[in-house]
Structure 1
Amino acid sequence: MTFRMGVNLGDVIAQDDTIYGDGVNIAARLEKLAEPGGVCVASNVYEQVKGKLDYAYTDLGSHQVHNIVESVRAYRVSRAKPASVISTRDTLTLPEKPSIAVLPFDNMSGDPEQGYFADGMVEEIITALSRTRWLFVIARNSSFTYKGRAVDIKQVGRELGVRYVLEGSVRKAASRVRITGQLIDATTGAHLWADRFDGGLEDVFDLQEEVTRSVVGAIAPKLEQAEIERAKRKPTEHLDAYDYYLRGIASLHQLTRESTANALQLFYKAIELDPEFASAYGMAAFCAVMRKANGWMADREQETAETERLALKAVDLGRDDAVALSLGGEALAFVVGDYNSGAAFIDRALALNPNLATAWLFSGWVRADLGDTEGALQRLATAIRMSPVDPIMFDMLNAVAMAHL
């Protein structure tokens, strides 16, 4: 039998063989949020244990509890080192080209609700760095397994097989943003560069660009200007649309039925504000991938038609956007059943950005479905190397198994 557990810190009332009270009600609500065999803790527990135990914590956002006035913030607890296909006896060799992992930035805003914004900044910096072709960039999913943990940079370098690690913080207050960062040589522990970037909220894309440019410049001072320019593309000019987009991504990463439905609505709001926002269409289409994979679709015919519309819009608007192309291609293949078109769009994404680990995974799945065993295994091996401690490693292994059938 598999159990769930919710943990809260608070007063309880004991009478006979029963306990009750707000503390119990909150724990019961947290238990329902946990996955089978999993544990969810309240924010007051998280504040007591973060950095002290060898576990990773995923912010699930705030949730309303029956008969409790204030919402309760929940965190999913997971093993600090997710299972990997790479044996602990093996050491990941450093790639021939410079390699880097960007760890989750600390949210210094004083408001846990702004965690999505700090995470979004990191995801955008990872994406911008990944467009630099001569860099090897570890995928977001593996980098974020270190969120909420006190880490040893040298150990991170060994576990991910990278030479450089970027860490930092984000502070968002009213209409101002401050991003700090420091680049560390994981092989020696030496600090190569550190800086602070301040600006208005309307300057957020310029701040991301400055961080990316500084990191790239610290790794290779003689970088060609063309490679820097490649990393400067803005996903949207509309800041409110961008905010909804970041919130949607944060919700989607919670991997529940409710959070996926919420993410879809947030992406729709982003699209409403900016009808040319290619990546938002792609993310909205990918919500259907999640819904179909988990058996959450209510009206398959209607949702498939809407997914096709969203996916085609993503690949049309995002002809030079690897994220939009890969998400749209995966949705066309897996949900709509147009595998050939899906494979072509994902290949286009990889031509634009060979560091996009999710695109390698999508390509592996599609190639397996098309019967291309060798091509699928090559692509999946690349995805695994780019995200060696990915929490969804099971999906990569499922794809490997499918490729062999």
Structure 2
Amino acid sequence: MVNERVERRLAVIMATDVVGFSRMAEADEIRTLGTMKRLQASILSPEITGRGGRVVKLMGDGSLVAFNSAVEAVDCAIALQQALASDQHQQPPDDRFLLRIGINLADVVVEGDDLLGDGVNVAARLQASAAPGGICIADAVHRQLGAKNIKTFLDGGEINLKNILRPVHVWHWAEAPAIGPSASQIAARTSIAVLPFENLNGAPDQDFFSDGITEDIIGGLARFRSLAVTAASSSFSFRGKTTDISEIGRKLGVTYLVEGNVRRAGARIRISARLIEAASGAHLWSDHYDRDLTDIFAVQDEVTRTIVSLLVGQIESADLRQALRKPATSLAAYEYFLRGQMHMRGYAPDDNRLAHAMFKEAVDRDPHFALAHSYLALSDLARHGYGNAPPEILDEALAIARKAVALDESEGGCQRLLALVHVNRREFDLAERHYRRAYLINPNDANTLVQMGGLYARRGNLAEAMEWIDEGFRLNPFPPPWYSATLGNALYILGRFDEAAAALKELPNPGAFTLARLVACHAQSGNTAAVEKIRRQLLQLKPDFSTEDFVQHGLLLEQDELRDLFRQGLLKAGLPA
């Protein structure tokens, strides 16, 4: 057999993709395809060929283009984005054609007219990392740029790309629509580095475990797209150095640092972790975990997931405290987003309205802030009674939640909140599909686990429901009150009425529907004194309360027998049918 010679050459690869193309085609296929054809003929093809580019392949709504020059490729990308922005500026935001563009310089394999290899794959991943209307380039490309363009790109640091082993140093086009004050502030405020955990046993052959913990925490944090996480290669450069914490934070350009250590003693292991504010050196959180080494890798996975979930919660709290110190007139998109989350977690009468106003301010300042759109949809439902909202509100919330997913399909929070909108629309199959997507994107998000458990309870799959809910509580031992509402609902359906009542009592300032669930718990368990007290509260708050209205409209349950269980409890409590 004759070994065929593989032809390789250095090439600049540009990958493009239309943001939200499937959504637009589903809404109006003829208009979408017609617009795509027009833009291809009037903007894309002329700009690419005019700068020496060769279209290697078209992939539906995307393309792969080869250039001989990094300068020409970047000039072409900028010209494309500017021409598209000019062409589309009068279109409604949801109907605009926006490109994501990624550019890489690498050695590629030539196979006929096609180009293959890791260099091509990296270009595609860079495209996925670009903002809508933006350009993301590899450091190798950035080094080739001249004075005209080199200052128009912002340093994105090293990032991990899907299915690419080594982190890639990237740069983002500063004039992209989503790269404005709000986006740059998000990156600055929520940036974090995990320093290598110290092996206190001293034996070099045990470094694999402490390094594994460090890398797993980095990987777990990176799944939360609201965080900018420094790659392990940068963090590990400080191993063994006595550099001051604030200096490490400055050199890595991060706001928060995580450090910790691992100590092994016989068949036991202790893992300690700390979250530190880099500028001040203040310790925001610390904890330690003692485990048996029956299965060292299972221990590593369990502790890592717990640490990651707790870290994210602490960072969100620290960011919120910072936002609340600022007057509302000076807030940018992210601070409005944080204030909206604060009101969404609140139980004051005006919290839902205020949450909606904050999220609206966030998306007005940054129209490409995907997660803010998701919470805007949720807050719209909240202020109209969730599942009791009018059909037009339910439709509007669904449209906004879908837009959020189209803006960032890899943000697990967007998938989770789209699922929650489907729950309130009683579309349980669709809800389960999006909860599963959210979990696959980020299995460390305790909110997803608890909400998935709540969905299983609504569908009567109780054993699996409690597994998901229990794991969510384990990952987030200091949960928001709504966790207790989900748990109480599941426990009631299981017939564990006293436990359900205890969970529901965790909710501050309970409304009529919470009181209805609570009085049903007490009635089913035979606590007559509690029934009398809660029934009076409920009828005082909602004099026209009707059992049938509550069962039909206040309960998001899939099966009639589950609704009957609540009906029985309310009628036992002596409430009007």
TM-score (norm. length: structure 2): 0.31
Choose between structure 1 and 2: higher helix proportion: 2
Whichever of the two has the greater Rg, that structure is 2
